[in-house]
Structure 1
């Protein structure tokens, strides 16, 4: 069974994820985003308020993601997204800028926003090795 450090290292070694949120009529909508991860396995990403995912996640914080696809290894991730503020926003930006130093320039964009996602369910799969593990929170 994967431990928290192994999951953290797996996510940290990947820079991109496909995230899915629910649109206004409940339809799934997906987007590729650059991610960072905290030691608590929280994912942080930035977006602009004119994106589809921004109003989707403000209305319904449920989110899913697929992280990694190289060498048939992947992590399915489900959680709850929130737009941090105050000290929580400062912490989220520190995590994000650690993975994406160019994000410091993007924070000046009009309408930039950050989301922090707390995991609720994870499934790691290594199809080449025939290994699938579920992790619940």
Structure 2
């Protein structure tokens, strides 16, 4: 007897939540499916970043068909599939049901989103401020996580997003904290990358942080250092970064 679709969905746990959050937070591109005027889904490739709470962010041209589609009908779907060696279906991917919201210019939210997006997608600085380009926040309404063969999950938006209170507590200090890490703790960033994440040595720089982790980049390469537990404010952030630096130095000794 064939299994009911609900029977193949496995329960969420902390490890699966971390996997799902990692797919979202680490992504630099995704397939965006919008609904055209004929009602037919249309998929396109978009650059991707996240707001501090985990909300996906895209930057799109007003001349693009998917932008007109989102304005007419904000319902969309986002497929994040980083892939890897071998069979592409053996690797984890996540599909998000989203509702698009245009980010109004000249607001505090717009400044933060622009900064975070450009940190993730630096080449977009060439056109981000063109009048026909706009940022859209993609509000997550549902998700489907396929972790590879025989691994199916249905994360809720809460499973994917950072705690709103924690995100709000970090929003005002994130930019300064990133600048401080790059100016005064470049050695720690290098140790995070090489000792904790197994990356090659180099001038790794912090490009963003949120309650669940620190994002770093070296040229076109990007890394994410997940925090052992979510941080709920500046004091917890400082303590966690110091503890991780201590752990990395101990491994280097």
The answer to whether the 8 Å contact 2:25/2:54 transfers is: no
What does the per-residue CA deviation read over 1:29-86, in whole Å, with 9 as the maximum and x for residues that have no partner? 1100110023433111111101001111111111101101514210001111111112
Q: Shift of residue 105 of structure 1?
A: 1.9
Paired with 2:143 and 2:52, the residues of 1 have a C-alpha distance of 15
CA RMSD of aligned residues (A): 1.7
Larger Rg: 2
Query: Match of 1:90, SS?
Result: helix
The answer to whether the 8 Å contact 2:60/2:135 transfers is: yes
Paired with 1:68 and 1:38, the residues of 2 have a C-alpha distance of 19
Q: TM-score, length-normalised on structure 1? A: 0.88
- Which one has the bigger helix percentage? 2
The answer to whether the 8 Å contact 1:18/1:67 transfers is: yes
The answer to whether the 8 Å contact 1:44/1:95 transfers is: no
**Counterpart for residue 76 of structure 1:** 95
**Counterpart for residue 129 of structure 2:** 108
C-alpha distance 106-97 of structure 1, shift in aligned 2 (>3 A): same
Alignment of 1:81-100 (within 5 A): 81-85=100-104, 86-100=107-121
**Counterpart for residue 80 of structure 2:** 67
**Counterpart for residue 223 of structure 2:** none
Query: Match of 2:111, SS?
Result: helix
Paired with 2:156 and 2:81, the residues of 1 have a C-alpha distance of 19
Q: Shift of residue 132 of structure 1?
A: 1.1
- Which one has the bigger strand percentage? 1
Alignment of 1:1-137 (within 5 A): 1=12, 2-3=16-17, 5-71=18-84, 72-85=91-104, 86-128=107-149, 130-137=150-157
The runs of 5 or more residues in structure 2 that have no matched partner are 1-11, 85-90, 158-253
What does the per-residue CA deviation read over 1:8-39, in whole Å, with 9 as the maximum and x for residues that have no partner? 32222221100011111211111001100234
Paired with 1:69 and 1:101, the residues of 2 have a C-alpha distance of 20
The answer to whether the 8 Å contact 2:99/2:138 transfers is: yes
Query: Bigger relative contact order, structure 1 or 2, given CA contacts below 8 A and separation 6+?
Result: 1
